[in-house]
A and B are shown apart, each in its own frame.
Chain A
Amino acid sequence: MVFSSSTFLLVFLPIVLFLYFVIPPRWAKNILLLMVSLVFYAWGEPVYVLLMIVSIAFNWLFAVLIHRSERHRKLYLVLAVAANLSILGFYKYESFLASIVNDLLGAPVVPDLSLPLPIGISFYTLQALSYVIDVYRKTTPYQRNPFYLGMYIALFPQLIAGPIVRYSTIQDQIEHRRETLEKFVSGFRLFAIGLAKKVLLANVVAILATKMLELGGAQIGAIGAWAGLIAFTFQIFFDFSGYSDMAIGLGKMFGFEYLRNFNYPYISKSVTEFWRRWHISLSSFFRDYLYIPLGGNRVSRSRWVFNLMVVWFLTGFWHGAAWNYIFWGLYYGAILIVEKLWLGRALDRLPAVVGHLYTIVVFLFGWYFFWIEDVGMLAEYGKALLGCYGASGTLSLFELTAWEYWPVFVVCALASTPLVPYLRFALFNWVTQEHRGGFLANDIANAKYLEVAELCNPTPWLERAESSGASQKRLIVFRCVYFLADIACLALVLLSVFSVVSGSFNPFIYFRF
């Protein structure tokens, strides 16, 4: 089941919310969440839900064994990691690896099973891995109750497309979280924004991106190719970050506090910064469970280069079992090495606009490699980008339909920036009659500010304003603006529901992850 479906929005969610809030005991709420999460998963994967239950069972068991055994704990860790990676490898990479081996040997030695990929397997496998590794490292206690561990791994908000929630993040919350009206409304706001990003922006630009890719470079020329690539650039951001926002928002409604997964990546001034803002839970997973154990940057330069390329090779490979994803990962690995060695310092000395433009060009070409799996199509589309097929290929400008989307691109571009937090910051300054600077440094750009407690919640701001002696009138204005924003969020939910029930184009691009 996906969030942007009628079944989820109009049946599953209201029923689950109702049941959750009428059941009083914590343990019952947790069991309910496990059960409905399994239903949520089984709706899309009626067979593979068994695979997930098996994954939950053996990860729980290995963690218990790791906790209880001092002598064999490393062995149990290795077995747990091997089991998790074997399942992921078998279902996600068997076909790809079989084709490579068979091509090399020139004969069909390894059977190509072409198994359908279990949805969300890449996400819940990493969550499970983080759990057993943390238990092994003794940075987090093991979970005695298999149902609670099951709830953590299968929890429907983050199950299909992340964020990758570490057990340590919600370990206390499993039994001691608090659901409040304020938190629920904050969650609603995030959910509304995420749903609108996915349905009203990503799905709309996806129409253009898909059309341009289907037509191919020769028909669409430079205008179509660039419009298609820009559309995909917005599609993947609003699809993925929208889904993350919805997941975090739903988590908040149920009392959980996840870490944010996106932090306005398209405003980055370097690729290093981009990856601190994009899919943060994945970057930090690879950093903490792979890069640092490999030695991180506290090694020789050649070893450091090796470490980085391994991390980025695996980052690419995690995204999909195809060469373009591997190339995409290595592309970013190479750029990050160049940036860390000398380009980063050069960029620091140049005007910020240069850094922005450089980063935009890098991620646009990054998405080009990421988007097009077929090598032949990649070459043709690349030629179109370079103008080899003229301005609009064999089609007329009108037929391209790219011109229809410029207002959507403008909205997407604005929504990619922290415009709304900036307006809130300006309003807060007006309320408190103070003129704080450093908006970006304090609120948005700092990667340490990943907690979502303040996200979409006016209360901490109001408290700060009250304590700074702001007038009651201005405080009420502040709160009323928030209420108007809430009405806007409700309108976004309504329009999104309208779009979903209309059966509008609604691709889900994370099935392969």
Chain B
Amino acid sequence: MQKINRVFNVLVVVLFCAIIGAVVLTKAPDLVMEKITGTSHLKAASQLEGRSYATAPVPGLGKVASGAFQNQFEQYVSDLFPEKDLALLTNAALQRDCIAMANLPFGFPAYPSAFGSERIVIPSANAITYMPSKVTDATFEKEDAFAEAARSFAEEHPEVEFVFYVVGGYESPAVNPVYSLVSDPLTPQALTESLAEDMAGVSNALVASVAYDSLDSYYEEFFRTDHHWNIKGAISAYNEIAQMTGEDLIAVSDYEAIEGPEFSGATARWGLDTLSEPVFDSTLDYSAIEVYKDGELIGPYEHDTYWEATPEAQHYGFYELYYGGRQYDKLVNPSREGTVLVVANSYVEAIAPLFALNNGEVYVTREMHSANKDDSRLQDYLEDMKPDQVVFVGQPGAYLDFLVNHPNYFEE
């Protein structure tokens, strides 16, 4: 019995040391290899977390005394853990299973992807989305401020047509099964109606949105694992705008599957869910479109960034890499006329080429993105680009925060 005891104990000690020694045992040989080869063989970034891993912090008296060094070292060590993505996903999956079990007696149609998470899993749709935003006292004050500034600007520039497209997306009641379970939710419809009311009487200002009346119709045009629209959703939005402005509609009869790994979008990644979905594109011919960045022609409209990426990057970053990988700021279609400025956030990546099919020049700025904060002015763009049309594209939150991030945007 003593022998058995000893064998079991040794085995346990070895396994315990393997767990707590995982970082030291992987980093120490890598340090040696790094000395010899000059490069580290450890993973330098996580596609799942969408960031580069922390590098070894340099200690300094001030940094140590303030605790900054210790915090950076903690992150560095966490990032060194082998198969860290697996650790994150396992941790969240356990919590999600627990919440799913907790939900059994309640039968809520969706539930958070982990404890404290703002992302919710919809089992019936095999999708993951966001908790609805809430209306606060500031919500319509912000909307009023935006509408007032935009309206004044539009009135001052009758030669330009202004379109405000509100992306319905996950915030629509019909497509978010917990809408009725949340107090004071914000709906894009309410925002669209309020914007339309505020713009009423301004002949060169239009407000548009596509409403979805069911989960099925929504997920036909939007990703199940990402907040963005797929190409069908982008075409629907474009056609809605085109119909209002009298442009040609885009008709698509066929879509084709994109070879490669399935897509696990930003909502799934941030919710630490492993859900994924197949991806497809339209058969539209973009061959006439030229892509410009910082004033230079960088080639035809292609998806080379996506095709050159690793399978893991393709898996997690389909939308960003396939549509927005080249981060262009201008599309040119020599066979068409007209100039459009699209002011948007990441939703622009799929819709801008559609504008380019019907316009000679399409300028793209990304001021609707919450991370972009600057003193840009629309007046400057009008003078530089001379657009016939300015199209804003963003979800309700992007409109509400627009003037917070760009306080001088509508100033003359």
Contact = CB atoms under 8 A, between A and B. Distances in A.
Given A6-B81, A505-B116, A185 B178 contact: no
Interface in B12-49: 12-13, 15-17, 19-24
Choose among A10, A46, A181 the residue with the greatest number of B CB atoms under 10 Å from its CB.
A10
A199 B165 CA distance: 46
Q: Is the interface of B mostly helix, strand, loop or mixed?
A: helix
A168 interface: no
Interface stretch (A264-272, A398-406, A419-427, A444-452): A398-406
Contacts of A404: 98-99, 102-103, 111-112, 115
A495 B102 contact: no
B8 A396 contact: no
B102 A407 contact: yes
Contact of A394 (B12, B75, B112, B183): B183
Nearest to A182: B9
B244 interface: no
Interface stretch (B82-90, B145-153, B189-197): B82-90
Contacts of B4: 476, 479
Choose among B16, B65, B73, B101 the residue with the greatest number of A CB atoms under 10 Å from its CB.
B16
B120 to A, nearest CB: 10
Contacts of B80: 10
B95 interface: yes
B404 interface: no
A441 interface: no
A247 to B, nearest CB: 16
Contacts of A476: 1, 4
A502 interface: yes
A398 B87 contact: no
B102 A405 contact: yes
A255 to B, nearest CB: 15
B16 A490 contact: yes
B81 A10 contact: yes
Choose among A406, A466, A479, A502 the residue with the greatest number of B CB atoms under 10 Å from its CB.
A502
Given A188-B13, A204-B95, A497 B19 contact: yes
Given A466-B1, A483-B8, A498 B87 contact: yes
A453 interface: no
A408 interface: yes
A396 B106 CA distance: 13
Contacts of A185: 9, 12-13
A304 interface: no
A contact residues, range: 35 or more
Contacts of A9: 20
Nearest to B99: A404
Contacts of B74: 5-7
A7 B13 contact: no
Contact of A479 (B8, B99, B178, B181): B8
A117 interface: no
A46 B65 contact: yes
Contacts of A495: 90-91, 94
Interface stretch (A11-19, A76-84, A308-316, A352-360): A11-19
A502 B88 contact: yes
B20 A10 contact: yes
B305 interface: no
Nearest to A184: B13
Interface of A: 1, 5-7, 9-11, 13-15, 17, 43-44, 46-47, 181-182, 184-185, 188, 192, 204, 207-208, 211, 394-399, 401, 403-408, 458-459, 462, 466, 472, 475-476, 479, 482-483, 486, 489-490, 493-495, 497-505
20 contacts: A6-B23, A7-B77, A10-B23, A10-B24, A14-B21, A17-B20, A46-B65, A181-B6, A182-B5, A184-B13, A185-B13, A396-B182, A403-B106, A404-B102, A404-B112, A406-B102, A486-B8, A490-B12, A490-B16, A503-B75
Rank and list the top 10 A-B pairs by shortest CB-CB distance, nearest first. Answer: A398-B181, A498-B87, A10-B23, A6-B77, A501-B78, A6-B78, A14-B21, A501-B81, A207-B116, A185-B9
Given A7-B73, A204-B95, A502-B91, 10 more contacts: A9-B20, A188-B13, A211-B116, A398-B182, A458-B5, A459-B5, A462-B5, A472-B1, A500-B78, A501-B81
